[in-house]
Amino acid sequence: MNSNNPVAPQQVRHWVEDRLRESILSGQFKPGEWLRQLRVADQFGVSEIPVREALKKLAAEGLVEYMPYRGMRVQEYSADDVTDIYKIRAFMEAMAAYVAAENISAEELVELRTVATQMEGRLATEDLAEHRELNRRFHEVVFTASRRAYLIHELRQLWMVFPSMLWGSFSATATKRLFEQDAYDIEEHRAIIGALEEGNGAQAERVMRQHIEGAGHRLLVAFRTGTNSVPGKQP
């Protein structure tokens, strides 16, 4: 990449943004890692100017944070952040599921069933990344089916850091499965699909809220205990 190309400064900045975003979400840059402009510029083969502009954009997205007098680092999350994010998700996605029950198409229902089936077939540790991407797609199909533009936009922004960065902040979940979550996902995803097929908004809302609140609780337990299993329960 030649950042000295005078006809494409904006293209360079967008290219750097995309590379940085991909590197953060894939875990190449770890939560809490400092992003020194010169080092990143050298790594990407560009000048520091597009790197600085890209970091500002990613800070606005919540992927990196500015620390006064110290610079930029990859966002990392605390137990309080987990609590807040899951409460926000539970409220917003439950609302979206309620509306989606009236608006979801036959094609979207077919995709939900396909994605859910694919998730159920990818429960091995080596399938973790694909399983989480399928889970993201499942939820995206539901909230997109709400047809509420602002709600969709806000949830897509929230899902930019979930689950890749959020789970990557904790050793218990960065590269390990929450086995009990897999079991709950199967049951609750089926219940969500059933409520949507029936056009039962109240049921879709209730199950979606229960699904997300339960997932948040299990992630907090894993964070606090350093394990990927909730004591006293079986998958």
For the cut 50, the answer to whether the pLDDT of residue 153 exceeds it is: yes
Radius of gyration over every alpha carbon of the chain, rounded to an integer in angstroms: 19
pLDDT in tens, 83-99: 898 999 999 999 999 99
CA distance linking residue 208 with residue 226, whole number of Å: 27
In total, how many domains does the chain have?
A: 2
Distance CA 19, CA 25 (A): 10
Phi-psi region of 35 (alpha: psi -120 to 50; beta: other; left: phi over 0): beta
pLDDT in tens, 10-52: 789 899 999 998 888 777 888 889 999 999 999 999 999 999 9
The answer, yes or no, to whether residue 100 has pLDDT greater than 70, is yes
70 & 96 share domain: no
d(CA 88, CA 100): 18
More confident residue, 167 or 222: 222
Q: What does DSSP say about strands 64-67 and 71-74: parallel, antiparallel, or unpaired?
A: antiparallel
Domain CATH for 167: 1.20.120.530
pLDDT at 207: 98
Q: What is the mean pLDDT of residues 206-227?
A: 85
Residue 200 in this model has a pLDDT that exceeds 80: yes
| Predicted pLDDT at 146 | 98
Task: Give the CATH number of the domain where residue 18 resides.
Answer: 1.10.10.10
